[in-house]
């Protein structure tokens, strides 16, 4: 098996400070809280899960929790067992949340038996209230979801006091679906290629047609339950990870990496170079430039790397942008796959091997963990190529109308895209492709005092298009000042495979 992966990345940042309190803008992360005037339903634009219209064969309400002043507390955990007498082969995790109160955006994770299933940010709520739903296809983790006597844990560190009044209410539900597995020949217009629909159902959330739910998931996560299952990476020099034994009958193994970035690196994609900070005598600690790379080591040899997508959390840049359409990836952070099958030759010796992670140029702190997705059988892949582009332009103009009261006026524009293109073939001259283009354009202004937005206005336009092997989806949506002003979507499954 030969396996070729190509990655291209592009991040462009322009930040202008006019008449600028440069120091303070850079020192204080571009992170604000706001007030609201009506109850809001927040949403992230994504294509629907292909089985979303079906009735689940079983529904398991697994956790209902109120995340108040949870800072420093361990994750909440509940016992998990799959529902009895239920036939299922596809699974969705549904995370519903609501809040009434002023609050920053907070990061949460859901782990099953230590495996990271969902990394999410909250929306930034207001005292008028807000709610949202995140639904993620977790079929990939079926082997874990079939296990008895394991625990499901959720962590969300939040601060509630006189100023930040918003607690988060979360309901977590697991939805089990049964979909007939079918071999459906595609119509002549699709070159008579055979595509198994069930595979495309699965593909929707992840890699490709050849990928089946894994036979085994090996979590690479921390032992420190008090601090969550993720590793906290505080600097460039830290290598965090775990030793594991890969079963000898492994045919294919993929390392799925989950990250979120915090503190001085929350806005790493806009951090200035250290030379700029020195040249301007700034005291900002947010440096190391605007490029980060997550490195995977096996037994301390570098085997792969990914550049994370710069997810802008919903309090970032101008929080009015993300009302009600949140930023790309905010509710369902992308995870990153590195195929480690080429290294199985060294790994299948029955001994334990150290899987370690570093974040190049990182500042405190990153929350990182991973899952090894192991298949014991599979089809031969002769070639995979992949291109990812994450262009990002942020322009910010800041000024102080008067020295005394500390109010700042900020005008900003933002263009952000997540573009991914994959081609693969199975060695029998069948080739496949999928293409995602997801872009946002935002414009707005605000007046800010003590990091609280006093006034402002913003518009957000988003264009999403996905072309896969068995379906296409596109959506154009726009919001102005907290209200949706335009929303059109088209979804088509190719006729011969739309038997659902």
Ligand X SMILES: *[C@@H]1O[C@H](CO)[C@@H](O)[C@H](O)[C@H]1NC(C)=O
Residues of this chain that bind ligand X (CB under 6 A): 61, 64, 84-85, 94, 96-98, 131, 133, 169, 171, 173, 280-281, 385-387, 421, 423, 433
Ramachandran area for residue 192 (φ above 0: left; ψ -120 to 50: alpha; else beta): left
Among residues 84 and 404, whose Cβ is nearest to ligand X? 84
Provide the minimum distance between the beta carbon of 131 and ligand X in the complex, in angstroms, as a whole number. 6
Provide the minimum distance between the beta carbon of 355 and ligand X in the complex, in angstroms, as a whole number. 27
Cα gap 454→410, rounded to integer Å: 11
Provide the minimum distance between the beta carbon of 432 and ligand X in the complex, in angstroms, as a whole number. 10
Cα gap 360→335, rounded to integer Å: 17
Provide the minimum distance between the beta carbon of 85 and ligand X in the complex, in angstroms, as a whole number. 4
User: What's the Cα-to-Cα distance from 264 to each of 140, 145, 310, rounded to whole Å?
Assistant: 33, 36, 14
Provide the minimum distance between the beta carbon of 348 and ligand X in the complex, in angstroms, as a whole number. 30
Q: Where are the beta strands (DSSP E) in 100-199?
A: 107-112, 115-121, 130-137, 150-156, 168-177, 183-185, 194-196
Provide the minimum distance between the beta carbon of 54 and ligand X in the complex, in angstroms, as a whole number. 14
Cα gap 254→246, rounded to integer Å: 12
Question: Helix (H, G, I), strand (E, B), or coil: what is residue 398?
Answer: strand
Provide the minimum distance between the beta carbon of 94 and ligand X in the complex, in angstroms, as a whole number. 6
- Tell me the backbone φ, ψ of residue 276, rounded to 5 degrees: -70, -40
Among residues 85 and 402, whose Cβ is nearest to ligand X? 85
Cα gap 189→179, rounded to integer Å: 25
Among residues 415 and 421, whose Cβ is nearest to ligand X? 421
Listed in sequence order, the DSSP H helices in 280-411 are 344-347
Among residues 98 and 438, whose Cβ is nearest to ligand X? 98
Among residues 96 and 496, whose Cβ is nearest to ligand X? 96
Among residues 183 and 283, whose Cβ is nearest to ligand X? 283
Is residue 357 exposed (0-12), middle (13-18) or buried (19+ Cβ within 10 Å)?
A: buried
Cα gap 272→457, rounded to integer Å: 27
Q: Are 245 and 220 in contact (CB under 8 A)?
A: no
Among residues 96 and 151, whose Cβ is nearest to ligand X? 96
Among residues 129 and 482, whose Cβ is nearest to ligand X? 129
Provide the minimum distance between the beta carbon of 431 and ligand X in the complex, in angstroms, as a whole number. 8
Cα gap 37→262, rounded to integer Å: 29
């Amino acid at each position: 098996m030969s396996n070729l992966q190509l990655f291209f990345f592009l991040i462009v940042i322009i930040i202008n400070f006019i008449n600028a309190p440069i120091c303070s803008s850079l020192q204080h992360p571009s992170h604000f809280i706001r007030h609201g005037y009506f109850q809001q339903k927040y949403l992230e634009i994504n294509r629907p899960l292909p089985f979303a219209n079906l009735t689940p064969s079983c529904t398991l309400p697994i956790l209902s929790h109120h995340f108040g002043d949870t800072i420093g507390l361990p994750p909440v955990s509940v016992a998990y067992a799959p529902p009895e007498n239920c036939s299922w082969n596809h699974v969705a995790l549904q995370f519903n949340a609501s809040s009434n109160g002023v609050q920053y955006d907070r990061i949460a994770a859901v782990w099953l038996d230590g495996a990271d299933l969902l990394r999410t940010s909250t929306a930034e709520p207001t005292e008028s209230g807000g709610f949202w739903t995140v639904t993620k296809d977790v079929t990939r983790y079926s082997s874990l979801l079939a296990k008895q006597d394991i625990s499901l844990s959720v962590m969300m560190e939040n601060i509630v006091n006189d100023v930040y009044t918003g607690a988060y209410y979360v309901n977590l539900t697991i939805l089990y679906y049964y979909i007939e597995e079918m071999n459906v020949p595609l119509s002549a217009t699709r070159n008579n290629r055979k595509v198994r629909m069930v595979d495309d159902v699965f593909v929707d959330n992840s890699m490709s047609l050849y990928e089946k739910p894994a036979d085994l998931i090996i979590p690479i996560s921390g032992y420190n339950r008090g601090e969550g299952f993720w590793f906290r990476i505080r600097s460039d020099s830290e290598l965090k990870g775990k030793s594991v034994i890969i079963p000898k009958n492994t045919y294919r193994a993929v390392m799925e990496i989950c990250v979120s970035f915090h503190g001085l690196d929350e806005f790493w994609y806009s951090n200035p170079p250290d030379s700029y900070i020195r040249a301007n005598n700034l005291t900002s600690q947010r440096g190391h430039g605007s490029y980060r790379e997550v490195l995977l080591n096996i037994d301390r040899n570098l085997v792969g790397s990914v550049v994370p997508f710069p997810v802008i959390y919903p309090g970032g840049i101008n929080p009015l942008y993300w009302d009600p359409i949140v930023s790309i990836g905010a509710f369902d952070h992308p995870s990153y796959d590195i195929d480690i099958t080429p290294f199985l030759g060294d790994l299948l010796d029955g001994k334990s091997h150290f899987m370690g992670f570093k974040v190049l140029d990182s500042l405190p702190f990153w929350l990182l963990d991973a899952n090894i997705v192991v298949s014991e059988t599979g089809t031969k892949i002769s070639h995979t190529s992949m291109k990812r582009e994450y262009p990002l332009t942020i322009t910010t103009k800041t000024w102080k109308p008067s020295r005394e009261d500390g109010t700042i006026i900020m005008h900003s524009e933002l263009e952000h895209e997540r573009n991914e293109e994959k081609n693969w073939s199975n060695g029998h001259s069948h080739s496949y492709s999928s293409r995602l283009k997801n872009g946002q354009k935002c414009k707005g202004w605000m007046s800010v005092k003590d990091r609280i937005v006093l006034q402002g206005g913003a518009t957000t336009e988003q264009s999403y298009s996905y072309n896969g092997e068995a379906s296409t989806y596109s959506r154009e949506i726009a919001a102005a000042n907290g209200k949706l002003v335009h929303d059109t979507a088209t979804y088509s499954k190719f006729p011969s495979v739309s038997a659902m």
